[in-house]
């Protein structure tokens, strides 16, 4: 008979939004995007994961001409220089304020 355990998950308010930046080393736009995220999130509420597209052939093919590509909770919110737009800033701020 399988053992069943009740697991209590944290409420949505305590789960920090996850950000993924698809990037590559020595990419000046990627570094700029990282800096922009830091400006928008000075308290480091967001969990930022950087993915080097050069480590995966599929990611390299998919994102090479688009980096940096930024996803927020699995949804793409910016590519190339879109992180400079006010819409991107609003999206990040809304997610942080949740």
Q: What digits encode the pLDDT tens for the residues 17-67?
A: 689 999 999 999 999 999 999 888 888 888 889 999 999 999 999 999 999
Assess if residue 7 is contained within a domain: no
- The CATH number of whichever domain residue 60 belongs to comes to 3.40.30.10
- Cβ contacts of residue 40 below 8 Å, gap of 6+? 89, 92, 93, 96
Assess if residue 54 is contained within a domain: yes
Number of separate domains in the chain: 1
Indicate the pLDDT class of residue 16, thresholds 50, 70 and 90. low
Assess if residue 9 is contained within a domain: no
pTM: 0.77
Per DSSP, the residues of 5-50 read ---PPPPGGGSPPEEEEEE-TT-HHHHHHHHHHHHH-TT--SEEEE
pLDDT higher at 1 or 84: 84
Assess if residue 42 is contained within a domain: yes
Q: Which range of residues forms the domain containing residue 66?
A: 17-97
Assess if residue 40 is contained within a domain: yes
Q: What is the pLDDT of residue 17?
A: 65
């Amino acid at each position: 008979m399988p053992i069943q355990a009740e697991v209590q998950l944290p409420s949505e308010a305590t789960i920090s939004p996850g950000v993924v930046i698809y990037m590559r080393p020595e990419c000046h736009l990627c570094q700029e995007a990282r800096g922009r995220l830091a400006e928008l999130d000075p308290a480091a509420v967001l969990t930022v994961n950087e993915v080097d597209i050069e480590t995966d052939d599929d990611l390299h093919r998919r994102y090479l001409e688009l980096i940096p590509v930024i996803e927020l909770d699995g949804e793409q919110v910016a590519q190339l220089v879109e992180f400079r737009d006010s819409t991107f800033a609003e999206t990040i701020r809304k997610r942080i304020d949740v």
